[in-house]
Every structure is written in C-alpha cells, then in structure tokens.
C-alpha cells in the first residue's frame, strides 16, 4: 500500500454471483503494457462471447457503440482510499476509475467494428488479454452521453 | 415467456461474487411505476452507501455526473432473446437494456445534486426502491460520452 491509502475489512460473504459470459482478447499481457485509458489506444480488441449466449447478440450488429462490462479479476477489493501511481493525491475509490474497488467491474464504451458469429471486433478497451466479460449493452447517446460532465478533481489537476 | 423469447440453461456455478455496497432509494415500489427510462423522470433519488465504504466517497463531490452500477435482483437471468412489452420484435439480450440478462447489472448515468455524509442525491435513476448498489464511478466525458452513437434497431423503430 502507498502512503495515504486506506483498506477496510470486506464483508464475510458475497451477496450475489456473477457468470463470466466470455473473454476479452487484447494485445496486452502485462498490466504495465495496458494503455492508461482506452482513448489512448486504437488497438482492435476482440470480445469472445460464450456459445451459450450466442443468440443474445441478435441486433447488436446494428449498434455503433456498446457499453462493455468486464471483471478485473486480478485487483484487490479492500481499498477505499487509494493513490494510483500516475496521481499524487490519494482519493476515494468511488472518485476513481481504478480496477481496485469492492466490486471490480469495469465499464468501457467501445466502438463496434464488426460481428463475426460470437466474436465482436471493437476499439476502446484497455484491459489485459483474457479478461472475463460480464455484460454487453447497447450504448444510447440519449441517456449515456453527457458531453459537459466534469470530474472536478481531475480538471483541477490538469491545469 | 412471450412469443419468440428464448431461454438457455445457465452455468451450474458462479464465477465471481459481488458485495452490495449500499441501497438506492427511489419513489418507485412496483416495477410498473418505474419510468421506462431514466430521462423520463427528474425525480430526486438517494444513493445510500454503507458506512464501511464511507471513505471511498472522498472526491466524489467534485463530480457533476456519476456512473452508477446496481443489481436488478428481481430479474430472471436465462433469457437470451426477449420481447420487452413496449417493443414488438424479440431481440437479443445484449442489444437491449432490459434488466433480464445473465448478469443483471444496470449502468445509469446520474447527475449529482449533493453529498451528505454517505448519502448522494442524484437525478437519473429509474429503478425500484431498495435496489442494491454495486459501484459508483466518476463519469468522464472524454471517454464515456459518445454523442453520435446510434442503436440502429431503435432508430429504425422510431421512424
């Protein structure tokens, strides 16, 4: 743990269970290789959906963008305040997009290039190769896009 | 099940576990009362974060918008093709924002009105009162907002 970070004891049991519904294939096999955020890379990644759920893709091909949820299975879950290496000041987990969080679910908006059976070619991911997939949703600009949203601490930091 | 819907057997065991980290308080206690989508309502809802995770909120107050993940615990999980009541044609689960999905995690963008201890006042939710909370993330317009995204089947349907 880094200076200023705070861990808490986690609850003794889980409240709900997740199924992995597929895997994400990316060019990155070490955490240090991953782009710092998805907009920094235009690498084409592949989302491989399990055959069991193949029929659930019907209509996905009509979407230009998807919201992809995946499970960052290598991250610890007990830090409530953390200091990611590229920021100086420790901040609350819910003010950060760090993989370290009580439920390590990442949410990324991807551009869909194409669908081939149960394989989706997309741009906009930054995760490790083999990352477990937990959901795919159509991205609706009407409800999901807020162009003027501001993360105050981040905007202040950049000035 | 409605005509055209398809269910599949789910895997026999879960791959990962979730903690509920709080609850969402909304005005809606029956599914039929919930707005059809979050933009249809400007009701102020309250996100109650468990005390255990209080410190994780440090810095959240600087955000204008948050991405909230919650668990739609009353939804079945085995439909891969479904016909929501307000659409005629059955479509794949991953082309829909229906609560019925293998991992019933909802993702909603909310506007943050204020933070009072572990309670966040927000606008932009459409879920039942008491819905379990699973994550809160800062919403970054730079990566999360795609104003020109299109869901083709939905756009075609509206014409």
Which among A60, A135, A142 is the nearest to B105, CB-wise? Answer: A135
Task: Please compute the mean of the pLDDT values over residues A25-38 and round it to a whole number.
Answer: 87
pLDDT band at B158 (very low <50, low <70, confident <90, very high): low
pLDDT, averaged across chain B: 94
> Residue A158's pLDDT is what?
56
B131 contacts on A by Cβ (under 8 Å): none
Q: What is the pLDDT of residues B8-25, one digit of tens each?
A: 999 999 999 999 999 999
> Residue B135's pLDDT is what?
98
CB contact under 8 A, B156 and A56: no
Task: Please compute the mean of the pLDDT values over residues B46-56 and round it to a whole number.
Answer: 98
Three-state secondary structure call for residue A23: strand
**Number of Cβ atoms within 10 Å of the Cβ of A101:** 27
Please check whether residue B74 touches A, CB under 8 A.
no
B/e letters for A17-52, b = 16+ CB within 10 Å, e = fewer, are: ebbbbbbbbbebeeeeebbeebeebeebbbbbbbeb
Cβ within 8 Å of B, A 112-131: none
Q: Which helix (H) or strand (E) holds B48?
A: strand B44-49
Q: What is the pLDDT of residues B67-116, one digit of tens each?
A: 999 999 889 999 999 998 878 789 999 999 999 999 999 999 999 999 99
Please check whether residue B94 touches A, CB under 8 A.
yes
pLDDT, averaged across chain A: 94
Task: Please compute the mean of the pLDDT values over residues A10-18 and round it to a whole number.
Answer: 97
Please check whether residue A158 touches B, CB under 8 A.
no
CB contact under 8 A, B97 and A138: yes
Which among A18, A81, A95 is the nearest to B14, CB-wise? Answer: A18
Please, are residues A67 and A111 in contact by the beta-carbon 8 Å criterion? no
CB contact under 8 A, A59 and B95: yes
Architecture of domain A20-142+150-155: Beta Barrel (2.40)
Task: Please compute the mean of the pLDDT values over residues A52-56 and round it to a whole number.
Answer: 98
A88 contacts on B by Cβ (under 8 Å): none
Percentage with pLDDT > 90 across chain A: 81
Sheet arrangement for strand B6-7: B6-7, B79-82, B91-92
> Residue B26's pLDDT is what?
96
User: Could you state, in order of their start, the residue ranges of all structural domains in chain B?
Assistant: 20-142+150-155
The alpha carbon of residue B87 is apart from the nearest alpha carbon of chain A, in Å, by: 13
- pLDDT at residue B159 tops 70: no
Percentage with pLDDT > 70 across chain B: 99
Please, are residues B122 and B108 in contact by the beta-carbon 8 Å criterion? no
Please check whether residue A32 touches B, CB under 8 A.
no
Q: Pick the more confident residue, B98 or B159.
A: B98
Query: How far is it, in rounded angstroms, from Cα A138 to Cα A134?
Result: 14
Which residues on neighbouring strands pair with residue A82, listed in sequence order? A91
Please check whether residue B87 touches A, CB under 8 A.
no
> Residue A88's pLDDT is what?
79
Please check whether residue A87 touches B, CB under 8 A.
no
Name the residue in chain B with its Cα closest to that of A108.
B144
Please check whether residue B135 touches A, CB under 8 A.
yes
> Residue A52's pLDDT is what?
98
- pLDDT at residue A39 tops 90: no
CB contact under 8 A, A139 and B149: yes
Percentage with pLDDT > 90 across chain B: 81
Please check whether residue A68 touches B, CB under 8 A.
no
> Residue B5's pLDDT is what?
96
CB contact under 8 A, A93 and B20: no
């Amino acid at each position: 743990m880094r200076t200023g970070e705070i861990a808490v004891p986690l609850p003794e049991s889980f409240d709900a269970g997740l199924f992995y519904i597929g895997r994400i294939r990316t060019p990155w096999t070490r955490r240090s290789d991953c782009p710092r955020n998805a907009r920094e890379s235009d690498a084409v990644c592949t989302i491989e959906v399990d055959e069991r759920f193949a029929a659930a893709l019907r209509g996905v091909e009509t979407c230009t963008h998807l919201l992809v949820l995946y499970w960052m299975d290598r991250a610890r879950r007990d830090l409530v305040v953390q200091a990611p290496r590229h920021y100086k000041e420790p901040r609350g987990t819910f003010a950060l997009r760090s993989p370290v969080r009580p439920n390590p679910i990442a949410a990324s908006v991807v551009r869909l290039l194409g669908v081939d059976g149960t394989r989706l070619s997309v741009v906009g991911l930054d995760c490790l190769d083999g990352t477990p997939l937990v959901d795919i949703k159509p991205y609706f600009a009407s409800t999901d896009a807020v162009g003027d949203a501001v993360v105050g601490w981040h905007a202040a930091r950049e000035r």
